[in-house]
Structure 1
């Protein structure tokens, strides 16, 4: 049989993106698991017949499996993520596969574009004596944010050069993944099922990881939470608002600061604006009202829709003349799957200042 261009890592990626185990895919292909295992490990070349079969079963074009881009695994921000430990291996594999596919797409898409210099800068915790709050304050300056509540965090991060993607993770046990890949802007993959307040805190948390954490440490989740709290609710700005807290006041502050009631209450505790006894009482009231499970008035913190990715697709479709069929062929996915990844029916863009054609 003729041998064709084949990357075993792309076979694994395709299989995991369809949430199939090796044995499940082997059964669908009508081959032994041993043969599939050897193909995935690179010990057995794939023939044209093999790839046509794999392409049909996994519903990817044959060319998908010949791509040479590197496939990435676990990132720093996920290493100590408590909730990640509860996600099934199969579900986690699907999430990593789909984010890898998106990253490969973006690498290809950016070959035809240039983007503004990123204004998100890494900061070494040791250089700041592990003063997380100081790094958060500097990050606000880097992003040219005014004092007080951040009106649109998604827009602020995208204006600074980050790319935010809302994803269907098929689980509520994972809020987000973030990575800074070579030759790409920082990427934030956010669970689209999150309410607006939690989405903002999650985004700030992931920003903290990208800025502070190049390597893992056992305290990194707490550090990222501290970063998010100071970034979204700077202590000098929010202190005056934390007097005489009650459930009704927490709702008002939620609308103003666009973070959860729980995050505001925790901030008041950390800044010692309430006593331990007051905090305990308010947490009990939150629990009694069911607010620790599902906060009320989620609609007062709207979902912030990202636009950078939409602008990229608009540039290709409107300025470079790519049809949906052209885009799907360019990205090595079937056309019917394109809307899963990208907004194909596009409104007129207001501005695309961060993008230009090469």
Structure 2
């Protein structure tokens, strides 16, 4: 039997958002025994206990071996938004899911040459200028050849540029999105919460992109200035100044803004805010619009919602893998060290969609 990594045991417990007491109740044992299992290297975990741990936590045994040499990510390296509002259990669980995401990425990188991220060479000056984030966004659009039109699928764009995009497996509004740069693989990781509107998810993706481009070498600890800069970057990246004003309706009513937001596929609040920042509407109109948007409930339920941007990366990878001799998805999951549910949760249900897309076997009646 391979040596069980105690750190992975703690990660597994955090993954399921369990306290020591919860873990003990789940296994039907005492808390002192749980503490020994988690921390005492001299304590011998029996085969029976280990099997129960894997079954109760829904993780394959391979998760608990540290053969991959993957490092856990420190909280200080992750760009969290409103970090103070995030409960410790969610923060710990998220950092456990990050390890799973890194394991998925490591497996795919062992099989293929994946898109590699390289920092764009942008000529940006006056880092302390108020328009710095917008200038970075516009320069990045130019560097990537995006022009001034709406971005059709920002998730697919990020994947093409070497970002590893995953889904946050929490149905909670405490956590919008997060990002970090993984030095081991040289790849930026972005996690998106699809619990919110598709418009918000697009803005979040651009926001995290802004962090990676502008703040990658800074301490990721929550900072209002950095968050504001990432918001400004996101607004300009999704709605570039020149393109935005060239298609702007003459009569900027709430209804015309609802129509206009469908062109850029952003929220009504984002359109209102962008118009105000570009001095297309006065302070009074902006504030009045904000009050009306809230009164209509549009800040919660987006009017005329857009369609969701889709990950293309995982479906392509699975399709290529399935064409290889002797490919088996269960074997893949075992090699990664992940459950099918966790894999689907992180990869936007890619394996579930892939299996549903496979042609069904035909039955023939032989006379």
TM-score normalised by L of structure 1: 0.85
Instruction: Quote the Cα distance in structure 1 between the aligned partners of 2:256 and 2:109.
Output: 46
- Corresponding residue for residue 7 of structure 2: 9
Instruction: Tell me: CA distance 1:152–1:289, structure 2 relative to 1, closer, same or farther (3 Å).
Output: same
Decide which of 329, 332, 340 is 1:327's aligned counterpart: 332
* CA deviation profile, 1:102-141 (whole Å, cap 9, x unmatched): 2222112211211233255487988734511111112212
Q: Which deviations, in whole Å up to 9, do the C-alpha atoms of 1:249-307 show, x marking residues without a partner?
A: 11111111111110111111111111111112212221222222322111xx2101111
Of residues 123-132 and 183-192 in structure 1, the stretch that sits farther from structure 2 once superposed is 123-132
Gaps in structure 1 of 5+ consecutive residues:
349-358
Q: Which aligned segments of 4 or more residues in structure 1 are displaced greater than 6 angstroms? A: 122-127
1:261 maps onto 2:261 in alignment: no
Given that residues 166 and 191 in structure 2 are in contact (C-alpha distance below 8 angstroms), is that contact kept between their aligned partners in structure 1?
A: yes
Q: Who is 1:303 aligned against?
A: 308
1:215 is matched with which residue? Answer: 218
SS of residue in 2 equivalent to 1:135: helix
227-236 vs 328-337, which deviates more? 328-337
CA RMSD of aligned residues (A): 2.7
- The equivalent of 1:97 in structure 2 is 96
Q: Which residue of 2 aligns with 1:188?
A: 190
Q: Which residue of 10, 31, 34 maps to 1:33?
A: 31
Change beyond 3 A, Cα 1:170–1:123: farther
Tell whether the 8 Å contact from 1:9 to 1:71 is kept in structure 2 after alignment.
no
Shift of 1:87: 3.3
Shift in alpha-carbon separation, 1:167–1:322, aligned structure 2, 3 A: farther
Q: Deviation at 1:163?
A: 2.5
* Structure-1 separation of matches of 2:77 and 2:121: 14
Shift of 1:70: 1.2
For the residues of structure 1 that align with 2:294 and 2:342, how far apart are their CA atoms? 42
Q: Given that residues 10 and 65 in structure 1 are in contact (C-alpha distance below 8 angstroms), is that contact kept between their aligned partners in structure 2?
A: yes
User: Residues 132 and 99 of structure 1: is their aligned pair in 2 closer, same or farther, counting only changes over 3 Å?
Assistant: same
Aligned residues between the structures: 342
Which residue of 14, 17, 25 corresponds with 1:19? 17
> Which has the higher mean CA deviation after the structures are superposed, 185-194 or 260-269?
185-194
Q: SS at 2:75's partner residue?
A: coil
**Alignment gaps of 5+ in structure 2:** 359-367
More displaced 10-residue stretch of structure 1: 329-338 or 97-106: 329-338
SS in 1 for 2:284: helix
Residue 164 (structure 1) aligns with: 165
CA distance in 2, matches of 1:161, 1:335: 24
Residues 24 and 31 in structure 2, CA contact (< 8 A), matched pair in contact too: yes
Query: Which range moved further: 114-123 or 69-78?
Result: 114-123
- The answer to whether the Cα contact below 8 Å between 1:158 and 1:164 also exists between their aligned partners in 2 is yes
Q: Is the 8 A contact 1:77 1:206 kept in 2?
A: no
Indicate whether 1:230 and 2:236 are aligned: yes
Given the two structures, how large is their TM-score scaled by the length of structure 2?
0.83
Q: Distance in 1 between matches of 2:118 and 2:208?
A: 16
